[in-house]
Amino acid sequence: MEAIDTEIIAALTAIATSKSIPFCYGCYTRAVTGRCTTCGSDDLMRELPGIGVEYGCDWVIPDILNAALTAANTEDAFEQSIAGCYPETVQIGWLTYDTVSAIKELDPVSWSLAHSEWLDSEVSDGNLLSFDGGGTHYWRTDVEDFIEAEEPQPES
Protein backbone atom coordinates (compact mmCIF):
# COMPACT_ATOMS: atom_id res chain seq x y z
CA MET A 1 0.00 0.00 0.00
CA GLU A 2 1.11 3.51 -0.75
CA ALA A 3 1.70 6.06 1.97
CA ILE A 4 -1.26 8.14 0.87
CA ASP A 5 -3.61 5.23 1.52
CA THR A 6 -2.33 4.96 5.08
CA GLU A 7 -3.18 8.65 5.44
CA ILE A 8 -6.66 8.11 4.00
CA ILE A 9 -7.28 5.17 6.33
CA ALA A 10 -6.06 7.21 9.31
CA ALA A 11 -8.30 10.15 8.37
CA LEU A 12 -11.31 7.88 7.84
CA THR A 13 -10.64 6.13 11.13
CA ALA A 14 -10.63 9.52 12.87
CA ILE A 15 -13.96 10.40 11.22
CA ALA A 16 -15.38 6.97 12.12
CA THR A 17 -14.26 7.49 15.71
CA SER A 18 -15.87 10.93 15.89
CA LYS A 19 -19.16 9.66 14.42
CA SER A 20 -19.42 6.55 16.58
CA ILE A 21 -19.84 6.23 20.33
CA PRO A 22 -17.89 4.01 22.75
CA PHE A 23 -20.24 1.28 23.94
CA CYS A 24 -19.94 -1.26 26.76
CA TYR A 25 -21.47 -4.48 25.48
CA GLY A 26 -21.41 -6.13 28.92
CA CYS A 27 -23.63 -3.41 30.39
CA TYR A 28 -25.25 -2.66 27.05
CA THR A 29 -24.79 1.04 27.56
CA ARG A 30 -22.90 3.93 26.02
CA ALA A 31 -19.60 4.86 27.60
CA VAL A 32 -18.98 8.29 26.11
CA THR A 33 -15.91 8.99 28.22
CA GLY A 34 -14.12 5.90 26.92
CA ARG A 35 -14.63 4.01 30.20
CA CYS A 36 -17.89 2.38 31.28
CA THR A 37 -19.26 4.20 34.33
CA THR A 38 -21.12 1.05 35.42
CA CYS A 39 -18.44 -1.67 35.30
CA GLY A 40 -15.30 0.40 34.75
CA SER A 41 -14.30 -1.48 31.60
CA ASP A 42 -12.42 0.26 28.81
CA ASP A 43 -12.74 -2.77 26.53
CA LEU A 44 -15.41 -1.04 24.51
CA MET A 45 -17.17 -1.52 21.24
CA ARG A 46 -18.19 1.30 18.89
CA GLU A 47 -21.83 2.15 18.35
CA LEU A 48 -22.88 3.77 15.11
CA PRO A 49 -26.31 5.17 16.00
CA GLY A 50 -29.02 3.59 13.90
CA ILE A 51 -26.64 0.96 12.48
CA GLY A 52 -25.24 -1.23 15.21
CA VAL A 53 -22.49 -2.08 17.66
CA GLU A 54 -19.19 -3.83 16.93
CA TYR A 55 -15.55 -3.83 17.98
CA GLY A 56 -13.11 -1.61 16.14
CA CYS A 57 -13.64 1.13 13.56
CA ASP A 58 -13.01 -0.86 10.38
CA TRP A 59 -16.68 -1.70 9.99
CA VAL A 60 -17.76 1.90 10.64
CA ILE A 61 -15.81 3.27 7.65
CA PRO A 62 -17.75 1.42 4.90
CA ASP A 63 -21.06 2.31 6.58
CA ILE A 64 -20.23 6.01 6.82
CA LEU A 65 -18.93 6.15 3.24
CA ASN A 66 -21.95 4.25 1.97
CA ALA A 67 -24.25 6.80 3.58
CA ALA A 68 -22.26 9.83 2.40
CA LEU A 69 -20.95 8.97 -1.05
CA THR A 70 -22.20 7.61 -4.34
CA ALA A 71 -20.29 4.49 -5.30
CA ALA A 72 -18.25 4.80 -8.48
CA ASN A 73 -20.10 3.55 -11.54
CA THR A 74 -17.17 1.55 -12.87
CA GLU A 75 -19.13 0.17 -15.82
CA ASP A 76 -19.88 3.70 -17.10
CA ALA A 77 -16.35 4.89 -16.44
CA PHE A 78 -14.87 1.90 -18.25
CA GLU A 79 -17.18 2.51 -21.22
CA GLN A 80 -16.09 6.13 -21.41
CA SER A 81 -12.45 5.12 -21.19
CA ILE A 82 -12.82 2.62 -24.05
CA ALA A 83 -14.90 5.05 -26.11
CA GLY A 84 -12.05 7.55 -25.70
CA CYS A 85 -9.47 5.01 -26.89
CA TYR A 86 -11.59 3.87 -29.85
CA PRO A 87 -13.67 6.85 -30.98
CA GLU A 88 -14.28 5.43 -34.45
CA THR A 89 -17.40 3.56 -35.49
CA VAL A 90 -17.30 0.14 -37.10
CA GLN A 91 -19.14 -0.94 -40.18
CA ILE A 92 -20.57 -4.45 -40.31
CA GLY A 93 -22.34 -4.90 -43.62
CA TRP A 94 -24.96 -2.17 -43.63
CA LEU A 95 -24.82 -1.70 -39.83
CA THR A 96 -22.80 1.01 -38.12
CA TYR A 97 -21.82 0.53 -34.48
CA ASP A 98 -19.76 2.54 -32.08
CA THR A 99 -16.84 0.37 -30.96
CA VAL A 100 -18.11 -0.07 -27.37
CA SER A 101 -21.52 -1.38 -28.48
CA ALA A 102 -19.88 -3.63 -31.06
CA ILE A 103 -17.55 -5.28 -28.53
CA LYS A 104 -20.32 -5.65 -25.94
CA GLU A 105 -22.62 -7.24 -28.50
CA LEU A 106 -20.04 -9.45 -30.22
CA ASP A 107 -18.05 -10.63 -27.21
CA PRO A 108 -19.61 -9.84 -23.82
CA VAL A 109 -17.14 -12.17 -22.07
CA SER A 110 -14.17 -10.28 -23.47
CA TRP A 111 -15.85 -7.01 -22.48
CA SER A 112 -16.38 -8.15 -18.91
CA LEU A 113 -12.81 -9.48 -18.66
CA ALA A 114 -11.44 -6.15 -19.91
CA HIS A 115 -13.65 -4.32 -17.38
CA SER A 116 -12.19 -6.39 -14.52
CA GLU A 117 -8.64 -5.73 -15.71
CA TRP A 118 -9.34 -2.02 -16.04
CA LEU A 119 -10.85 -2.02 -12.53
CA ASP A 120 -7.77 -3.76 -11.08
CA SER A 121 -5.44 -1.24 -12.69
CA GLU A 122 -7.52 1.75 -11.48
CA VAL A 123 -7.38 0.27 -7.97
CA SER A 124 -3.63 -0.34 -8.08
CA ASP A 125 -3.11 3.18 -9.46
CA GLY A 126 -5.08 4.44 -6.46
CA ASN A 127 -7.83 6.12 -8.51
CA LEU A 128 -10.50 3.82 -7.12
CA LEU A 129 -10.67 2.86 -3.45
CA SER A 130 -12.56 0.07 -1.75
CA PHE A 131 -13.04 -0.40 1.97
CA ASP A 132 -15.09 -3.59 1.86
CA GLY A 133 -12.74 -5.89 -0.01
CA GLY A 134 -13.78 -4.84 -3.50
CA GLY A 135 -17.57 -4.94 -3.13
CA THR A 136 -17.96 -1.18 -3.54
CA HIS A 137 -15.54 1.28 -5.11
CA TYR A 138 -15.30 5.02 -4.61
CA TRP A 139 -13.33 7.55 -6.61
CA ARG A 140 -10.34 8.72 -4.62
CA THR A 141 -11.34 12.36 -5.26
CA ASP A 142 -14.78 11.74 -3.70
CA VAL A 143 -13.19 10.15 -0.64
CA GLU A 144 -10.68 13.00 -0.33
CA ASP A 145 -13.48 15.59 -0.58
CA PHE A 146 -15.41 13.70 2.08
CA ILE A 147 -12.36 13.64 4.38
CA GLU A 148 -11.80 17.35 3.87
CA ALA A 149 -15.42 18.11 4.75
CA GLU A 150 -15.74 15.71 7.70
CA GLU A 151 -12.32 15.49 9.29
CA PRO A 152 -12.53 16.38 12.97
CA GLN A 153 -10.64 19.63 13.52
CA PRO A 154 -8.01 19.60 16.25
CA GLU A 155 -8.92 21.88 19.15
CA SER A 156 -7.08 25.17 18.87
* String of DSSP letters for 15-69: HHHHHSEEEETTTTEE-TTSS-TTT-----EEEETTTEEESSSTTHHHHHHHHHS
Query: Cα-flanking dihedrals φ and ψ of residue 128, to 5°?
Result: -115, 135
Alpha-carbon distance 152 to 92, whole Å?
Answer: 58
Residue 41 or 73: the one with the smaller Cβ distance to Zn ion is 41
Sequence-ordered list of residues with C-beta below 8 angstroms from that of 135, at least 6 positions apart, any chain: none
Binding part of the chain for Zn ion, among 16-24, 53-61, 81-89, 100-108 by CB under 5 A, reads: 16-24
- Residue 112 as a binder of Zn ion (CB under 5 A): the answer is no
Binding part of the chain for Zn ion, among 20-28, 65-73, 91-99, 108-116 by CB under 5 A, reads: 20-28
Binding mask 26-65 for Zn ion (x = CB under 5 A): xx--------x-xx-x------------------------
Minimum CB separation from Zn ion for residue 35, in Å? Answer: 9
Binding site for Zn ion (CB under 5 A): 24, 26-27, 36, 38-39, 41
